[in-house]
Amino acid sequence: MKELDSRKLTTGKGIGLLSGGYGEDAKLKISFEFSPPKSQELEEKLWQAIKRLEPLQPGFVSVTYGAGGSTRERTHATVKRIVDETSLKPAAHLTCVGADKEAIDDVIRSYWEAGVRHIVALRGDPPTGIGTKYEPHPGGYAGSPELIEGIKRIADFEVSVGCYPEQHPDAATAQSDLDILKRKIDAGATRAITQFFFDPDVFLRFLDQVRAEGIEIPIVPGIMPVNGFKGVRRMAEAAGASVPDWLIKLFDGLEKDPETRKLIAASLVVEQCLRLREAGIDQFHFYTMNKADLTYAICHILGVRATSQ
Ligand code: FAD
């Protein structure tokens, strides 16, 4: 057997759990994404997750808006409850789909009146399904830059937007994604959150391209803890996020073994975040899927500690 180099083993100040993960890390910024629940039972589960994650004091928590505006009331109710019952700062997602400007403006105004000061502004997907041609609603906002202008006309909300390390499926070229990102920033966006991805290098390459365009706003990696592999794979295919072969192999044969899947998902997300942290990334947005456990664990490893309320 090859002799081990003990000097390398003891002096290597790498990252990872074996080097102690991260100590308390005040500079790290985190945020969490939740979806409005579809039933009373799911509402209870969502609130268990929110309460478990609240002491980590994220910069904000965002609440998604269902395709075609289908969750408008539920998104509003969830955001309002976060304002009323927690110390968290909610960001409401809003899309241009399925409503004219007047109806969307009413939603924007009602958020401001409810005490919400942050919107994640998105074009949204066509009601006919992802992959079909997007047509703006008659009388509606034409796209995300126009929606941001509309939001800013109503009140001085903080505006975050989406961006796509692996190119949005509708983008003619990677450059057209970057061009629209610039238009969104010109309209008032001050943060972009990425579509999820699995390979940290995909994010880092995209970040280089964004910075080369002179875009300075924070580009926050969207981190997906892969809880149920099948569902995530479906979402990734629809969203244009590549699913690497090595990831498929990792979950191969575990279709009926949720416990092992969860252990693997945890180590995967830990490795992904530690690599990004090592590359200097200091903000993470977690797609929690309304579950706290994996997100809580990775935040702990990254040095985010609960503070008492
Ligand atoms: P944009 O950045 O405006 O555009 C994306 C690409 O599409 C660009 O390359 C652009 O060139 C091209 N494009 C835009 N308009 C047109 C057009 N008219 N014709 C041809 N090409 C065009 N969806 C929801 O329904 N609810 C949510 O809560 C939600 N949250 C999200 C959160 C994040 C962080 C992300 C990344 C996505 C989210 N989505 C959500 C999905 C999002 O709505 C879709 O990806 C949508 O297709 C693009 O929205 P956008 O604002 O990011 O697009």
Range of the domain at 268: 6-301
Q: Is residue 248 part of a domain?
A: yes
* Ligand 1 near 124 CB (within 6 A): yes
Both tokens assigned to 77? 């109710």
Q: Is residue 202 part of a domain?
A: yes
At residue 20, the pLDDT reads: 67
pTM of the entire predicted model: 0.93
Q: Is residue 295 part of a domain?
A: yes
Closest atom, ligand 1, to C-alpha of 68: 25
Position 155, amino acid: A
Q: Is residue 31 part of a domain?
A: yes
Q: Is residue 1 part of a domain?
A: no
154-198 pLDDT, tens per residue? 999 999 999 999 999 999 999 999 999 999 999 999 999 999 999
The structural domain count of the chain equals: 1
Whether residue 110 is predicted with pLDDT greater than 80 in this model: the reply is yes
The crossing angle, in degrees rounded to 10, of helices 40-53 and 293-301 is: 10
Both tokens assigned to 26? 């005040």
Q: Is residue 119 part of a domain?
A: yes
Please give the average per-residue pLDDT across 57-81, as a whole number. 91
In angstroms, the CA 67 to CA 190 distance is: 24
In this structure, what CATH number is given to the domain that contains residue 131? 3.20.20.220
Position 247, amino acid: L
At residue 309, the pLDDT reads: 54
Q: Is residue 308 part of a domain?
A: no
* Ligand 1 near 175 CB (within 6 A): no
* Ligand 1 near 298 CB (within 6 A): no
In angstroms, the CA 200 to CA 215 distance is: 20
